[in-house]
Amino acid sequence: MKKSYLLFFLFFTFCNQLKAQQEEVAVKVVIQRLFDGMRAGDSVAILSVFTPKAIMQTITIDKEGKTTIQEDAVTNFVSSIGRLPKGAAFNGKFSHCGVNSFTLVKLNGEWKINYVIDTRRKQNCN
């Protein structure tokens, strides 16, 4: 009987681990689709990965050296990407470095980005 419980426990643990790995892959696919859409200048692809009320914020340091937080609507971000010629945002040149943080939510069985905050700087990027 103890062996049956042990086997059931191990099987249940394995199934949960497999499900968690599948969800992790699904989340990474959403983030990859966002960056692929940005590189391609594809506003439709970009918009498809966000929730309708997603929030985007950027932390930067202004000309006076003060930290600022800017908030923008996803639609503004998407429309600016759509107006750029393919590759113009990167154009093979350094733009900035920083960190992106994403919060995703699963809606109707599909992962979507609900919140993005990023930092941007042009120095100390090594």
Question: Is 101 part of any domain?
Answer: yes
What digits encode the pLDDT tens for the residues 70-80?
999 898 888 87
Question: Is 126 part of any domain?
Answer: no
Q: What pLDDT score does 86 carry?
A: 43
What digits encode the pLDDT tens for the residues 38-58?
888 888 999 999 999 999 999
Dist. CA 63–CA 97, nearest whole Å: 17
Question: Is 81 part of any domain?
Answer: yes
Domain count of the fold of the chain: 1
Question: Is 125 part of any domain?
Answer: no
Question: Is 124 part of any domain?
Answer: no
Domain with 68 in it: what CATH number? 3.10.450.50
pTM: 0.71
Closest CA to 81 of 34, 119, 116: 34
Give the structural domain span for 55. Answer: 2-119
Question: Is 79 part of any domain?
Answer: yes
